Amino acid sequence: MSFKLTRDFIDNIRQAVRQGDVHIIESILVELHPADIAEIFESIDAHESKFILDLLEEELAAEVLTELEEDARERLLKIMSSKEIAEQLEQIDSDDAADILGELSEEIQQQVISQMEDEDIASEVVDLLNYDEDTAGGLMQKEIIKARLTWTVLRCVAELRRQAENVEKVYTIYVVDDKDRLVGFLSLKKLLFAKPKALVEDLFSSKKIISVKASEDKSAVANVMRKYNLESVPVIDLQGKLIGRITIDDIIDVIQEEAEKDYQMASGISGNIEARSSIFKISRARLPWLIIALFGGLLGTQVIKSFEPQIEMNAMLAIYITLIPAMAGNVGVQSSAIVVQGLANNTLRTDDLRNRLTKEIAVAMLNGLVCSSIVFILNYVFYKDINLGITVSVALLTVILQASIMGTIIPLGLNRIKIDPALATGPFITTMNDVVGLFIYFSISILLYT
Amino acid sequence: MSFKLTRDFIDNIRQAVRQGDVHIIESILVELHPADIAEIFESIDAHESKFILDLLEEELAAEVLTELEEDARERLLKIMSSKEIAEQLEQIDSDDAADILGELSEEIQQQVISQMEDEDIASEVVDLLNYDEDTAGGLMQKEIIKARLTWTVLRCVAELRRQAENVEKVYTIYVVDDKDRLVGFLSLKKLLFAKPKALVEDLFSSKKIISVKASEDKSAVANVMRKYNLESVPVIDLQGKLIGRITIDDIIDVIQEEAEKDYQMASGISGNIEARSSIFKISRARLPWLIIALFGGLLGTQVIKSFEPQIEMNAMLAIYITLIPAMAGNVGVQSSAIVVQGLANNTLRTDDLRNRLTKEIAVAMLNGLVCSSIVFILNYVFYKDINLGITVSVALLTVILQASIMGTIIPLGLNRIKIDPALATGPFITTMNDVVGLFIYFSISILLYT
């Protein structure tokens, strides 16, 4: 059904490579999908991969290269000549070629481009390199199938046959006017069932045509494609000219990356790292957050220090010192996660602050009262100190309310000034709420307990 | 380009509904996509939505219903008769109809089904209701286009024309043998360019055909479709018979949900809630985690209490009481997030424990040494107490190491015993590391400081 990579399988492949047993390798690979071969490459070293790559048919080799993960591809491209790279890039879709090229140093980029034999492909790829990789332009491919309004179905099919050679997946035919402006679309299904002499302009649909501008942010493109259930979306320039299309497989990666990014931020990891990234890369992605938390923690020590007289007067105060800020941290993360996710999937509008806040305060009151009651009762059971119980319960309720409000306002505020709201989740909000929580705890204890 | 809902727009619609101004409503809606109308329905109340729904053409109305979010749809369906619901469901894809039906009570389900006029559709939908909604069967639609090996292209196109009426999006034609077993596929592109008398068996491709079993988990289906860049995947039963297909738009929702679920778990939110969910629903999703954190915190108070003699002997020990567990919590979340994400996107294998742990310990040593050095230096600057500095630094390094190891082992262990590893992120791991961190801190302080 679907291929599953095992350690034995990899050992077999490696042994065959070491013995140069072309026959075995070919017999193993013939049944595999390019994505499977890419998965194998990610588990063996670059020279072994290169040996296998050279055995594959040109087109298959290029597809494997496209499917490969960035790190593994980087290692492989390093031991390929610019001529070899150029040959591969000519086989694949322009967006993938531009992506791979974009990963290389400028010097090698130039060498590779100069080695490309097909000048049309080379200029398309160079053109794509100009777009910011976080925009629709950076995601689009140049390979599109377009038809003119004035064509007949017969002409259309003939032209398509010519164009379709370069277009791997045909979902929709875009219809353009004589100035190349996008005016509608035509489904392949409709074309298949139409009479040969029918005109495109009588068949095509111009209602509710959805397109994106080349400068549009990639997460906006993802939202459009998801909302309207599109498997491809046309990209237009400022004049409305059709310049490319974005297919759903590239957008799935965007959706995945965005979701992972928010999650990583919330967990105190910056940058796109993975389990198999290098130790230094992982360390670098995590250390800044730990240092922020550390300085927050040090600020906390100052708060505790400044309330030392209270602690010395009553040592029992010290035992709740970790509980209160920890609860503040947890509540803050919960509140901010709801905001960040609501903003990301468009279910929360920025002008919703008042609504959100009212609801958040109601939830905080509810959960805060439950938690405070539990603490009050257990404190009485353990220590029989009603005053301490009141102090801790009131402090806990206050802290939960404060953390909810901060956790809601800060990400919404960041979003309004165009800073990624996900920054406000994770270590940042926990640490801030730790410090404020400590301060509230001691302040209330002065009022109620000493 | 793409529709943007504003408050003014909604106010206009509501006013038109209140005045019963059918003309205005129709003129506003005519240009909108079903997904846009659904968005409007989510911002107005059920009776207003019903008024608009009744004005729409049958097919459009059904599409709007499909696009609607679950909560809003529930409210709307409540004020529709079972006859009305049945009429709508007959218009849409079988998977969507089954999904909507699955949201209703069993009693209403039966009423709706008995009101369906087309018995074929009714039995298809009933059949789909039998599958677990978290499996491939629960996601698939019955509408597929299939061709037999022995057909000519001409026969194929004729049959397709008949079948395609019910199939909204045609990506691929599935080829089956005389026992309805899936044997390959044929792209529409290929069919378009083939000679009318050519046979399907000479055109179709049987190599590397990827399908999923009906019982396969939905996240496994998502991984297959993502890995192989598929826009639809055929679903087969135990005998290899083709029984349906899953399209990419349904899988995007799965990918999104899975990513959101992991993120929510990590943030201490259980269940699929959104910014617009009700106060009680949000409270219920968050409270269990807070109570776990609370009991962890109370355990922490016991740890602090048992080390009271040390604190009384040296009050300076108390000031680092919050910093150490907070750092442990942060590191634990970082480590577990990498594991959870690696398992979710298949870049980490369960048998990778040793590798992962070695790397994690190396990262912890690196980051731990940096953080410990900072604490040591700043402690000296503030308090000129070298012994305290050594105690805190050693405790911090130990706690970071411990939290990394726990953060790695626990999610991997949970995954191995088939429990969702995301459970180990967020409040659970923070709280556990808080308690253990406190214990380590005081133990080291006894060894080094008193």
Boundary (domain end) residue, out of B107, B133, B159: B133
Q: Pick B321's closest partner by Cβ from A212, A213, A321.
A: A321
The CATH number covering residue B112 comes to 1.25.60.10
Give a three-class secondary structure readout of A299-315: HHHHHHHHCHHHHHHCH
Residue A227 sits in the same domain as residue A80: no
Residue B119 sits in the same domain as residue B224: no
**Mean pLDDT of the B207-232 span:** 88
Residue A284 sits in the same domain as residue A420: yes
Model confidence at B312, pLDDT cuts 50, 70, 90, reads confident
Task: Report the percentage of chain B scoring pLDDT > 70.
Answer: 96
The pLDDT tens digits of the residues spanning B37-79 come to: 998 998 888 999 999 999 998 888 999 999 998 888 999 999 9
Whether residues A255 and B260 touch (CB distance < 8 A) is answered with: no
B273 pLDDT higher than 90: no
Q: Is residue A100 within 8 Å of residue A65, measured between CB atoms?
A: yes
Whether residues B252 and A256 touch (CB distance < 8 A) is answered with: no
User: In chain B, what residues touch A280 (CB-CB under 8 Å)?
Assistant: 366
Question: Which DSSP helix (H) or strand (E) runs through A322?
Answer: none
Q: Which long-range contacts (CB under 8 A, 24 or more apart) does A19-23 make?
A: A20/A51, A22/A55
Q: Does A244 touch chain B (CB under 8 A)?
A: no
Residue A182 sits in the same domain as residue A238: yes
- Enter the ipTM: 0.77
The pLDDT tens digits of the residues spanning A279-309 come to: 888 888 888 888 988 898 888 888 988 888 8
Q: Pick B279's closest partner by Cβ from A192, A297, A362.
A: A362
Sheet holding B146-148, edge to edge: B146-148, B172-176, B182-187
User: In chain B, what residues touch A31 (CB-CB under 8 Å)?
Assistant: 207-208
Whether residues A370 and B291 touch (CB distance < 8 A) is answered with: yes
User: In chain B, what residues touch A288 (CB-CB under 8 Å)?
Assistant: none
C-alpha–C-alpha distance, residues B305 and B318, integer Å: 12
Probe site for chain B from A59, A340, A363, A369 (most B CB atoms < 10 A) = A363
Residue A11 sits in the same domain as residue A123: yes
> Chain B: residue nearest A163 by CA?
B189
Q: Is the Cα dihedral A247, A249, A255, A260 positive or negative?
A: negative
Residue A124 sits in the same domain as residue A150: no
C-alpha–C-alpha distance, residues A182 and B436, integer Å: 63
pLDDT of B403 reads: 93
Residue A304 sits in the same domain as residue A388: yes
H-only helix segments in B267-385: 279-306, 308-313, 323-344, 353-383
The mean predicted confidence, pLDDT, of chain B is: 87
User: Is B264 inside any structural domain?
Assistant: no
The pLDDT tens digits of the residues spanning B74-122 come to: 999 999 999 999 999 988 888 899 989 988 988 999 999 999 988 888 8
pLDDT of A350 reads: 65
Residue B295 sits in the same domain as residue B413: yes
Boundary (domain end) residue, out of A247, A271, A291: A247
Whether residues A374 and B291 touch (CB distance < 8 A) is answered with: yes
User: Is A271 inside any structural domain?
Assistant: no
Residue B422 sits in the same domain as residue B285: yes
Probe site for chain B from A30, A265, A286, A289 (most B CB atoms < 10 A) = A286
User: Is B256 inside any structural domain?
Assistant: no
> Chain B: residue nearest A364 by CA?
B283
The pLDDT tens digits of the residues spanning A50-61 come to: 999 999 988 889
User: Is A309 inside any structural domain?
Assistant: yes
**Mean pLDDT of the A349-375 span:** 87
**Mean pLDDT of the B412-433 span:** 83
Mapped onto helix, strand or coil, the DSSP state of residue A149 is coil
Residue B59 sits in the same domain as residue B159: no
User: Is B266 inside any structural domain?
Assistant: no
User: Is B363 inside any structural domain?
Assistant: yes
Residue A222 sits in the same domain as residue A305: no
The CATH number covering residue A339 comes to 1.10.357.20
Q: What is the pTM of this model?
A: 0.77
pLDDT of A351 reads: 65
DSSP β-bridge partners for residue B410: none
The pLDDT tens digits of the residues spanning A176-204 come to: 998 999 999 888 778 777 888 889 888 88
Closest-CA residue to A5 (of A42, A30, A53):
A42
A76 pLDDT higher than 70: yes
The CATH number covering residue B164 comes to 3.10.580.10
Residue range of the domain that includes B28: 7-133
Question: Which DSSP helix (H) or strand (E) runs through A14?
Answer: helix A7-18
Q: What share of chain A is helix, strand, coil (3-state, %, to 5)?
A: 65, 10, 25
Q: DSSP state, B105? A: -
User: Is B317 inside any structural domain?
Assistant: yes
* A307 CB burial (10 A radius; 0-12, 13-18, 19+): buried
- How many structural domains comprise chain B? 3
Q: Does B145 touch chain A (CB under 8 A)?
A: no
pLDDT of B186 reads: 86
Give the minimum alpha-carbon distance from A125 to chain B in angstroms, rounded to a whole number.
22
B10 pLDDT higher than 80: yes
C-alpha–C-alpha distance, residues B344 and B217, integer Å: 13
Neighbours of B234 (CB within 10 A): 23
The pLDDT tens digits of the residues spanning A202-225 come to: 888 877 788 999 999 998 899 899
The pLDDT tens digits of the residues spanning B315-333 come to: 788 889 889 988 998 899 8
Whether residues B338 and A275 touch (CB distance < 8 A) is answered with: yes
Cα–Cα separations (whole angstroms), residue B289 to A67, A431, B81: 40, 19, 40
C-alpha–C-alpha distance, residues B282 and B273, integer Å: 7
C-alpha–C-alpha distance, residues A29 and A21, integer Å: 13
Give the minimum alpha-carbon distance from A85 to chain B in angstroms, rounded to a whole number.
23
Model confidence at B423, pLDDT cuts 50, 70, 90, reads confident
